[in-house]
């Protein structure tokens, strides 16, 4: 690996970690400043443009645009590169401007479809959601143009500033929530305005380096441009694949709106705690292995391909299994330490705790999906993961409908804790998805079984049980955590994490697990 490539990877990795930290800080501020019944309205208003963001910006568009602009930079003249940027910016910007205007006008209908329960509640959630969605919906325009600018800069090996834009967004949203919200008639609306302003700031900070590269002239509509049409064709399969997960989220959100007030907030905050290890470790690992897998497939190194994939799966099991167990065991202490302040009550802690316990089962499934899917993508197989995702979505939908049907039939639709069942069904869907991806790779003899893999899993399980026992014994009761001060909670939680980690790796060492077992070793097919 060249020094330049390592430096770029380190920059992106560091800013990703910083983004996760500031994002968690943002959610901590939200939980302390806004009652959960009002915060769940913002959760919906922020979730809808973010779903479109993952389709148009982070997902399908970025995957299609970056290779094309890199090709133009290498094989075409600078003027042709500028023509590409102008045409894509003008065409994408015009389309998304139209979508944003439509979203603002149709906000009441969108809220009614995605959160039907709001129209039945007496707390004014429906009109508030419409008002906030009209502020947040244009974010999809700003963030998509930010992704375009970032893609161009990445092609010119400028990684730091594009990667830092998400940190800037989090900081702007924190400022609006912590300092500017008291000046609003409805303080929670400040969160939505923060999304709008943050999206603009994200885009503005990338314009100066683009001007310095002389790549920005006048964006124009040009759907006939060869590169624009090629990018549109490449986006098609990616949009279908990305939409499966987003559709699952929309369905779960709609169901959660039918449950008791605060359900969407509890699910959101619990999910954010699960997303932290997922983003810092699992997504980073998937990003690292994809280029290697692609190169090994291109060179027809089947054994090396399998070895890399097997190594990633073993590493996920080593780190994520105990992480899932820890999230389940100390869900209460973790929730109290992160969120229990001011507006976030003892009851909110209990409800978020059980949601986090349910979500802990999904962490392993989501992590395995992140490292198994590249085994298909590296072989230029985009249909396989999409088919599996559709089946997993179907299973999750069926389970959600069964859960809602049973709750409605028994009169428990508004009962405390019903929201955790939605988290559990998503976990089942994630495990099913990961299992099907693994089975598919094994059936095609792409992924070979690693010698000693079952024995290693048993040792990881034993060490995880020992760690859970340590965390349970020294974790204390939830009431003790609620009575503790913030500094006491932080020190106690750090002690639990350190002691639990030492217990886990200590037991693994005693069972004979050594670092050398996690070297990438080719395993021939048999």
pLDDT at residue 214 greater than cutoff 90: no
* Out of 7-16, 290-299, 441-450, 499-508, least confident range: 7-16
pLDDT at residue 2 greater than cutoff 50: no
Residue-level pLDDT at 1: 39
Residue-level pLDDT at 453: 79
* Out of 32-46, 122-136, 140-154, least confident range: 140-154
Residue-level pLDDT at 385: 83
Residue-level pLDDT at 215: 75
pLDDT at residue 191 greater than cutoff 90: yes
pLDDT at residue 507 greater than cutoff 80: yes
User: What is the distance, to the nearest Å, from the Cα of residue 521 to the centroid of all Cα atoms in its chain?
Assistant: 31
Residue-level pLDDT at 378: 75
The model's pLDDT over 84-117, given as tens digits with 9 standing for 90+, comes to 889 999 998 999 999 999 999 999 999 999 999 9
- With cut-offs at 50, 70 and 90, classify the pLDDT of residue 347: very high
- With cut-offs at 50, 70 and 90, classify the pLDDT of residue 6: very low
The model's pLDDT over 219-238, given as tens digits with 9 standing for 90+, comes to 889 888 888 888 887 676 66
Q: Could you give the CA distance from residue 431 to residue 366 in angstroms, rounded to a whole number?
A: 7
pLDDT at residue 158 greater than cutoff 50: yes
Residue-level pLDDT at 15: 81
Give per-residue burial for 247-266: e unless 16+ CB within 10 Å, then b. bbbbbbbbbbbbbbbbbbbb
pLDDT at residue 387 greater than cutoff 50: yes
Domain parsing of the chain, residue ranges: 1-241
Q: Could you give the CA distance from residue 413 to residue 407 in angstroms, rounded to a whole number?
A: 5
For 345-355, what is the mean pLDDT? 96
DSSP percent split of the chain into helix, strand, coil, nearest 5: 80, 0, 20
pLDDT at residue 9 greater than cutoff 60: no
- With cut-offs at 50, 70 and 90, classify the pLDDT of residue 331: very high
Residue-level pLDDT at 373: 85
* Out of 51-60, 211-220, 362-371, 499-508, least confident range: 51-60
The model's pLDDT over 34-87, given as tens digits with 9 standing for 90+, comes to 999 899 999 999 988 887 776 666 556 766 777 777 778 878 888 888 898 899
């Amino acid at each position: 690996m060249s020094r330049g490539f390592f430096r770029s990877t380190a920059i992106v990795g560091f800013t990703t970690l910083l983004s996760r930290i500031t994002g968690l800080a943002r959610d901590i501020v939200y939980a302390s400043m806004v009652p959960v019944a009002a915060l769940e309205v913002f959760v919906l208003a922020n979730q809808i443009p973010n779903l479109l963001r993952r389709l148009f910006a982070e997902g399908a568009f970025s995957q299609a645009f970056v290779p094309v602009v890199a090709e133009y930079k290498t094989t075409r003249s600078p003027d042709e590169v500028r023509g590409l940027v102008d045409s894509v910016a003008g065409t994408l910007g015009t389309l998304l401007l139209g979508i944003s205007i439509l979203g603002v006008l149709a906000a009441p209908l969108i809220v009614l479809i995605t959160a039907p329960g709001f129209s039945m509640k007496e707390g004014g959630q429906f009109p508030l959601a419409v008002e906030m969605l009209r502020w947040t919906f244009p974010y999809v325009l700003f963030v998509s143009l930010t992704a375009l600018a970032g893609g161009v800069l990445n092609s010119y090996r400028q990684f730091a500033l594009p990667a830092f834009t998400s940190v800037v967004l989090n900081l702007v949203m924190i400022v609006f929530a912590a300092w500017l919200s008291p000046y609003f008639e409805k303080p929670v609306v400040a969160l939505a305005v923060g999304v709008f302003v943050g999206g603009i700031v994200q885009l503005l900070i990338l314009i100066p380096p683009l001007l310095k590269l002389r790549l920005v002239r006048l964006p124009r509509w040009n759907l006939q441009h060869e590169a624009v049409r090629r990018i549109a064709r490449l986006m098609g399969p990616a949009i279908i694949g990305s939409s499966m997960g987003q559709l699952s989220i929309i369905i779960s959100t709609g169901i959660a709106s039918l449950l008791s007030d605060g359900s969407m907030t509890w699910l959101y905050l619990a999910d954010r705690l699960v997303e932290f290890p997922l983003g810092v470790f699992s997504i980073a690992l998937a990003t690292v292995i994809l280029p290697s897998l692609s190169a090994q497939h291109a060179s027809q190194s089947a054994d090396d391909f399998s070895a890399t994939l097997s190594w990633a799966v073993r590493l996920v099991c080593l780190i994520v299994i105990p992480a899932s167990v820890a999230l389940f065991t100390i869900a209460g202490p973790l929730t109290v330490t992160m969120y229990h302040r001011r507006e976030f009550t003892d009851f909110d802690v209990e409800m978020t705790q059980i949601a986090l316990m349910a979500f802990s089962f999904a962490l392993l499934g989501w992590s395995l999906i992140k490292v198994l899917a590249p085994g298909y993508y590296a072989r230029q197989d985009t249909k396989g993961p999409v088919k599996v995702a559709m089946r997993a979505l179907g299973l999750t939908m069926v389970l959600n409908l069964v859960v809602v049907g049973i709750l409605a039939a028994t009169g428990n639709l508004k009962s405390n804790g019903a929201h955790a069942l939605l988290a559990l069904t998503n976990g089942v869907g994630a495990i099913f998805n990961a299992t099907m991806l693994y089975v598919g790779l094994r059936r095609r003899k792409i992924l070979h079984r690693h010698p000693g893999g079952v024995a290693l899993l048993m040792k990881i399980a034993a060490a995880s049980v020992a760690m859970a026992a340590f965390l349970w014994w020294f974790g204390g009761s939830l009431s003790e955590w609620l009575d503790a001060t913030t500094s006491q909670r932080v020190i106690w939680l750090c002690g639990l994490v350190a002691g639990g980690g030492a217990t886990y790796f200590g037991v693994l060492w005693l069972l004979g697990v050594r670092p050398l077992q996690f070297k990438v070793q080719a395993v021939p097919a048999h």
